[in-house]
Structure 1
Amino acid sequence: MTRIPVLIDCDPGVDDAFALALAQSCPHFDIRAITAVYGNMPLKKTLYNARALNEVLAIGAQVAAGAKEPFFKKYDRGDDYVSPVHGSTGIASILLPEGRRPLDEDEACDVIYREAVRAGGELLLFAVGPLTNVAKALMRYPNLPGLISRFYIMGGGIEMGNQSPYAEANIFKDPTAARICFEKLPTHMVGLNATCDGALSEADLDELIAACGDGPKAALLKELFTYSRHNAFVKGQDSNIIHDAIAVAWAMDGAVCGGEERHVWVRDDAGDRDGETVADPAGVAPANTWVAMTTDTARYKGLLLQMCRYYREIE
């Protein structure tokens, strides 16, 4: 079986950890590289987590460091930042063992291009954090769009936000980068419309926890699901919405999300609607984005259960 070459640009992040694990569990994917960006936590922590997850989840990919901050906006989360959703380390306050694989010598944007060239136009690119690394790659390598097979993001929302009334967090953190990406790359956008529709129930999380069993490789997933359950149903956070994993699930199974092709553009004017993803009415402008609006939660949960069984069964 020929597997699809995959690169995941991320800011781990509890939901990034699930996205990485879900992608690794897919028999059709070959994760070639993981690139880290600031976002949920500062780059120092997201890079550490990316390297650690690469080892703990038995991925074995190259890992590269990317942007520490947006193009123009200020990133104000210091190394002592504690996230109400992601904890103090970024992964539910779990301090994972340091990843032993050497860090890639190249910058993330260069790794994105390098892997796209190596994949011969077949690279499946995920970006589930702020889009700074991908935008830098697009600016540095004008021929990159022709080398990307499919581009999936977790970001945005049509007429809804979580960082402001209008903007989702990943897009809000660097709207200029997001604008560049939407202008240059046909995009599969998994925004808040779809991720909120795919919220897991308490019973769903109990089922996923049980499915992990007691295997050593599934221990982290079990702990993260348990954390997400407590954070959502005891503390009242939105941790039962595992945003980033839905982008991976949609690439695995096109029936996981439902939506439509639209022309999407991003406001980056530093006004009240800064970071808003705006979808023009169908037919007004050429479509550049497949916008996910709904999630088949049962189908999505089925892929998460498959992931749990995969990690339960490996040594």
Structure 2
Amino acid sequence: MKFIIDTDPGTDDAVAILIALAHFSDEEFLAITTVAGNVTVDIGTKNALRLLEHTNRNNIPVYKGEAKPLYRELTTAEWVHGSDGLNGVDFPNPSKNEESSDAVSYITNLLINSDEKITICVLGPMTNIGKVLSQDPKLSSNIEQIIFMGGGAGFGNTTPVAEFNFFVDPEAVNIVLNSGVKLIMMGLDVTHQAIATKTRLEDILETKTVTG
């Protein structure tokens, strides 16, 4: 499987990225694309680079994505993630910059030129993917699947019924959900079962790896 992570890190996304880095090689984990959501896209891009610096995986490229939703103003969540997006966690400053190409162009070219279908893991708002598919709907046939964190069954975390990622850019969500691509949803009701308990954190620390 070849995949990219589209993300707005964010403390929760940072954990997900670290787990992916621990389990997948550079041949599988092709790139990180960033998007505005939990924090601005500039802060999220720096955080992605900081995570790669921390884990000595700087060879994975980072592409900065959209700075605001498709048709509305940006809502962020610094009240959850802190002004730096990582609640003050002391990851090193990056020694490299993001790539010169933007995320939408990178994803588009990747889907056009790849010799196999690509899996896209969306951890934040769907703005980048929605823009790619709105510009060229036929690219959906080059996507193996989209695994995404968004939505929920029975409750929300931004309004009583709206989950944050879907709330930020519902128009992009509409494009992606109606694209015909295979979708695997990890909703709020699922993620609330993956709690970072003291025991679980101790197990991670005992691995004594750069991701732990």
Output the TM-score relative to the length of structure 2: 0.89
Runs of 4+ displaced beyond 4 Å: none
Aligned to 1:195: 191
For the pair 1:55 / 2:53, whether they are aligned, the reply is yes
For the pair 1:163 / 2:158, whether they are aligned, the reply is yes
Structure 2 unpaired stretches of 5+ = none
Indicate if the aligned counterparts of 1:5 and 1:119 stay in contact, CA closer than 8 A: no
Indicate if the aligned counterparts of 2:45 and 2:98 stay in contact, CA closer than 8 A: no
Report the structure number with the largest CA radius of gyration. 1
How far residue 27 of structure 1 moved from its aligned partner, in angstroms, is 4.2
Count of residue correspondences: 209
Indicate if the aligned counterparts of 1:155 and 1:192 stay in contact, CA closer than 8 A: yes
Where do residues 1-315 of structure 1 align in structure 2 (5 Å cutoff)? 4-27=1-24, 30-59=28-57, 60-77=59-76, 82-84=78-80, 86-184=81-179, 185-209=181-205, 211-213=206-208, 217-218=210-211, 308=212
Output the TM-score relative to the length of structure 1: 0.61
Segment drifting more, 122-131 vs 15-24: 15-24
RMSD: 2.0
Return the alpha-carbon distance in structure 2 between the equivalents of residues 30 and 55 of structure 1. 19
Return the alpha-carbon distance in structure 1 between the equivalents of residues 96 and 136 of structure 2. 27
Say which SS state the counterpart of residue 28 (structure 2) adopts. strand
How far residue 126 of structure 1 moved from its aligned partner, in angstroms, is 0.5
Structure 1 unpaired stretches of 5+ = 219-307, 309-315
When residues 98 and 203 of structure 1 are mapped into structure 2, their CA distance, relative to the original with a 3 A threshold, is closer
Indicate if the aligned counterparts of 1:64 and 1:103 stay in contact, CA closer than 8 A: yes
Larger proportion of strand: 1
Indicate if the aligned counterparts of 2:38 and 2:78 stay in contact, CA closer than 8 A: no
Cα distance per residue 1:9-41 (max 9 Å; x no partner): 000111111111111222466211111111111
Return the alpha-carbon distance in structure 1 between the equivalents of residues 164 and 101 of structure 2. 27
Return the alpha-carbon distance in structure 1 between the equivalents of residues 24 and 102 of structure 2. 28
How far residue 76 of structure 1 moved from its aligned partner, in angstroms, is 4.4
Return the alpha-carbon distance in structure 1 between the equivalents of residues 12 and 207 of structure 2. 17
When residues 203 and 97 of structure 1 are mapped into structure 2, their CA distance, relative to the original with a 3 A threshold, is closer
Identity percentage over the alignment? 28
Return the alpha-carbon distance in structure 2 between the equivalents of residues 128 and 10 of structure 1. 5
What letter is aligned with 1:196? H
Say which SS state the counterpart of residue 33 (structure 1) adopts. strand
